[in-house]
Amino acid sequence: MPDATTVGPTTTDLYEVTMALSYLREGLTRPATFSCFVRELPADRGFLVAAGVEEVLDHLSRFRIGPDDIEVFAEALHRPTTDLAPLLGLRFAGEVRAVPEGRVVLAGEPLLEITAPLPQAQLVETLVLNRLTHQTAIAAKCTRCVLAARGRPVVDFSLRRTHGVEAGLRTARLAAMAGFAGTSNVAAAHAERLPVVGTMAHSYIEVFEDEEAAFTAFARAHPGPVTFLVDTYDVDSGVAAAARVLHALGRAEGSAIRLDSGDLGALAVRARAMLDRAELPGVGIVASGGLDEFAVDDLVRAGAPIDVFAVGTRVGVSADAPSLDSAYKLVAYDGRPVMKLSSEKVTAPGRKQVFRHPGCRDVIGLAEEPAPAGSVALLKTLMRDGVRCAPRTPLADARARLTADLAELPASARAIRSPVPVVPSTSTPLATLAGHVRRRIERAVLAPYDHFA
Residues 6+ apart with CB under 8 A from 201: 229
Helix extents (H) in 193-328 = 202-207, 211-221, 235-249, 264-277, 293-301, 313-316
Of 275, 309, 3, residue with least CA distance to 142: 309
CATH of the domain at 305: 3.20.20.70
Residue ending a domain, choose from 270, 299, 316:
316
Strand 336-337 with 326-333, pairing:
antiparallel
Shared domain for 70 and 162, answered yes or no, is: no
Mean pLDDT of 311-337: 96
Q: Is residue 417 part of a domain?
A: yes
Shared domain for 128 and 149, answered yes or no, is: no
Shared domain for 363 and 307, answered yes or no, is: no
* CA 284 – CA 258 distance, rounded (Å): 9
Shared domain for 341 and 275, answered yes or no, is: no
DSSP single-letter state for residue 233: S
Question: What is the predicted pLDDT for the residue at 88?
Answer: 97
* CA 184 – CA 195 distance, rounded (Å): 9
Please write the tens of the pLDDT for every residue from 43-63.
999 999 999 999 999 999 999
Of 24, 50, 204, 51, residue with least CA distance to 121: 24
Shared domain for 134 and 146, answered yes or no, is: no
Q: Which domain holds residue 436?
A: 14-138+323-452
Q: Is residue 4 part of a domain?
A: no
Say whether pLDDT at 263 is over 90: yes
Q: Kindly indicate the confidence band of residue 7, based on its pLDDT and cuts at 50, 70 and 90.
A: confident
Residue ending a domain, choose from 294, 316, 338:
316
Q: Is residue 9 part of a domain?
A: no
Say whether pLDDT at 1 is over 50: no
What percent of the chain is modeled with pLDDT above 70? 97
**Cβ neighbourhood burial of 320 (10 Å; 0-12, 13-18, 19+):** middle
- The answer to whether the beta carbons of residues 430 and 158 sit under 8 Å apart is no
Sign of CA dihedral 365, 369, 373, 375: positive
* CA 104 – CA 405 distance, rounded (Å): 6
How many angstroms separate the Cα of 276 from the Cα of each of 245, 252, 361? 15, 12, 48
Q: Is residue 205 part of a domain?
A: yes
Provide Rg for the chain, Cα atoms. 26
Say whether pLDDT at 447 is over 80: no
Q: Name the domain count of the chain.
A: 2
Say whether pLDDT at 3 is over 90: no
- The answer to whether the beta carbons of residues 14 and 98 sit under 8 Å apart is no
CATH of the domain at 364: 3.20.140.10
Of 199, 189, 194, residue with least CA distance to 222: 199
Please write the tens of the pLDDT for every residue from 94-104.
999 999 999 99
Mean pLDDT of 322-326: 94
Q: Is residue 380 part of a domain?
A: yes
Helix extents (H) in 349-427 = 395-408, 411-414
Please write the tens of the pLDDT for every residue from 140-188.
999 999 999 999 999 999 999 999 999 999 999 999 999 999 999 999 9
Shared domain for 241 and 377, answered yes or no, is: no
Shared domain for 423 and 363, answered yes or no, is: yes
How many angstroms separate the Cα of 179 from the Cα of each of 59, 147, 299? 26, 9, 19
* CA 150 – CA 439 distance, rounded (Å): 51
Residues 6+ apart with CB under 8 A from 299: 264, 265, 268, 287, 306, 309
Question: What is the predicted pLDDT for the residue at 89?
Answer: 96
Question: What is the predicted pLDDT for the residue at 38?
Answer: 97
Shared domain for 309 and 334, answered yes or no, is: no
Shared domain for 85 and 157, answered yes or no, is: no
Element (H, E) at 112: strand 110-117
Say whether pLDDT at 343 is over 90: no
Shared domain for 131 and 149, answered yes or no, is: no
Residue ending a domain, choose from 293, 316, 339:
316
Shared domain for 73 and 110, answered yes or no, is: yes
Residues 6+ apart with CB under 8 A from 153: 180, 181, 182, 307, 308, 309
Please write the tens of the pLDDT for every residue from 399-443.
999 999 999 999 999 999 999 999 999 999 999 999 999 999 988
Say whether pLDDT at 4 is over 60: no
Shared domain for 165 and 302, answered yes or no, is: yes
Q: Is residue 237 part of a domain?
A: yes
In this structure, what are the phi and psi dihedrals at residue 429, rounded to the nearest 5 degrees?
-60, -40
Of 177, 172, 101, 170, residue with least CA distance to 399: 177
Q: Is residue 8 part of a domain?
A: no
Q: Is residue 39 part of a domain?
A: yes
Largest CA distance in the chain: 91
Q: Kindly indicate the confidence band of residue 345, based on its pLDDT and cuts at 50, 70 and 90.
A: confident
Of 169, 149, 164, 76, residue with least CA distance to 297: 149
Of 177, 199, 200, 202, residue with least CA distance to 188: 177
Of 435, 134, 145, 155, residue with least CA distance to 287: 155
Q: Kindly indicate the confidence band of residue 2, based on its pLDDT and cuts at 50, 70 and 90.
A: very low
Mean pLDDT of 263-280: 97
Considering the chain, what is the average pLDDT of its residues? 95
